[in-house]
Amino acid sequence: MHANAELRLRLANERIARDHRHAADARLAAEARRRHRRSLRQRAALLLIQAGERLATEPTLTPARSR
């Protein structure tokens, strides 16, 4: 009976340790995702460049005439 209690205690401790490692890994992954997010300035610049590319490829647009 005593050996069974020790085994159950050891299994419970291993499960708790595994849960702690899993939580730590999840925190590290979330932090890495936050760190690699583009800044607002970078996202705005990309949107501006994409809009310029769409305008540059539009076949119906003609250059504005000078006055």
Token pair in block for residue 59 = 């076949």
Asked whether the beta carbons of 61 and 55 are under 8 A apart, the reply is: yes
Let me know if residue 28 belongs to a domain: yes
In the chain, the number of structural domains is: 1
Let me know if residue 62 belongs to a domain: no
Q: Give the model confidence (pLDDT) of 40-63 as tens digits.
A: 999 999 999 999 888 888 777 676
Q: Can you give the pTM of this predicted structure?
A: 0.47
Let me know if residue 61 belongs to a domain: no
Q: Give the model confidence (pLDDT) of 3-54 as tens digits.
A: 899 999 999 999 999 999 999 999 998 888 888 878 899 999 999 999 988 8
Asked whether the beta carbons of 38 and 44 are under 8 A apart, the reply is: no
Let me know if residue 40 belongs to a domain: yes
Tokens 């936050």 sit at which residue?
A: 34
Which residue range is the domain that position 6 belongs to? 2-56
Let me know if residue 44 belongs to a domain: yes
Let me know if residue 65 belongs to a domain: no
Please report, as a single letter, which amino acid is at residue 41: R
Closest to 37 measured CA to CA, from 48, 26, 25, 46: 46
Neighbouring CB atoms inside 10 A of 15's CB total 10
